[in-house]
Amino acid sequence: MTGYGKAEAILPGLKLTIEIKSLNSKQTDISLKLPSVYRPREPEIRNFLIQQLERGKIDLFANAEVTGDLSTVSINKPLALHYYRELKDLQEEMMEHSDDDLLPVIMRMPDIIQTGREEISESDWDTVKQAIDKAVMQVRTFRNDEGNVLEKDLLARLKIIQNLLISIEPFEKQRTQSIRERIHKELMNLTGSDGNPLPVDQNRFEQELIFYLEKLDITEEKVRLGKHCTYFLETIREEASQGKKLGFIVQEMGREINTIGSKANNAEIQRIVVQMKDELEKIKEQLLNIL
């Protein structure tokens, strides 16, 4: 699920801006862009993000800005010059001859600003952790709001499938009678070599018809599809993240709908099956955005 959060940590001589962006992904993919002094804390930050955001493509950016107190802050001049030369070369390759000042761009590049300390103090780290926690809470709020919208859409589409399932019943009864009449008519039209109608054993006809109709019976598929719909409803209302589980349930729903379609032997039932498949595909698309 998508999410965004932003928070600031005010430190001696620095303002650290934390931004977290989250996109849905089947795996956990965390990217951190931190000033060098915070890199020893990367494992702790990663573990915290995994605990709070579970999975997804998660990007955390930490941008340091100099504030009024410069006594503890310095600029990495060799690195700044390196960035400047690289940017100028890039401009020339792109045939760009802009006179724009590159300094603001360079100052936002990684590791340009140095705190003059190889380690961050515990008190400063606590301040940074609070900012990260605040940004994460914003991401979770963003996700929850999106999740509520998705839940309403999914439940509405599931209700459509349930109603379509119920609408099959009258056509199913018509189908049975239609098949019986069609087969009987074809038998009555059969003639022998002498041109006379062939005799029909009514008892054998009824036995074969029952056997044929049993092969086309969709009662079990309808019952299983109804149970899958109920299970989907129960699962989506659970507190824990159930995106993968819902995906498995939808797969089973698809199998039952496909089987109903293959056994339908009726234009109206086929039309209903197509509608159910359309709604199910939309559910599958939405599930890609759920943890």
H/E stretch holding 188 reads: helix 122-188
What is the 3-state secondary structure of 103-146? HHHHHCCCCCEECCCCCCCHHHHHHHHHHHHHHHHHHHHHHHHH
Q: What is the mean pLDDT of the chain?
A: 82
> pLDDT tens digits for 247-269?
999 999 999 999 999 888 788 98
Amino acid at position 44, single letter: E
- When pLDDT is cut at 50, 70 and 90, the band that residue 225 belongs to is very high
Q: How does pLDDT run across 189-220, given as a tens digit for each residue?
A: 666 666 666 676 667 666 666 666 667 788 88
Lowest mean pLDDT among 37-51, 64-78, 219-233: 64-78
Q: Return d(Cα 147, Cα 153) in angstroms, integer.
A: 10
In sequence order, the 6+-apart residues with CB closer than 8 A to the CB of 283 are 154, 157, 158, 250
**Which residues are CB-contacts of 20 (< 8 A; sequence separation ≥ 6)?**
3, 4, 5, 6, 49, 58, 59, 60, 61, 132, 135, 136, 138, 139
Q: Which residue has the higher pLDDT, 273 or 210?
A: 273
- pLDDT for position 179: 72
> How far is Cα 134 from Cα 132, in angstroms, rounded to an integer?
5
Per the listing, tokens 């074809």 go with 186
Per-residue pLDDT at 250: 95
Give 73's pLDDT tier (boundaries 50, 70, 90): low
Domain boundaries, the chain: 77-110, 146-287
Burial of 59 from C-beta contacts in 10 A (0-12 / 13-18 / 19+): middle
Given a cut of 80, whether residue 170 has pLDDT beyond it is yes
Structure confidence by residue, pLDDT tens digits, 119-150: 678 888 899 999 999 999 999 999 888 888 99
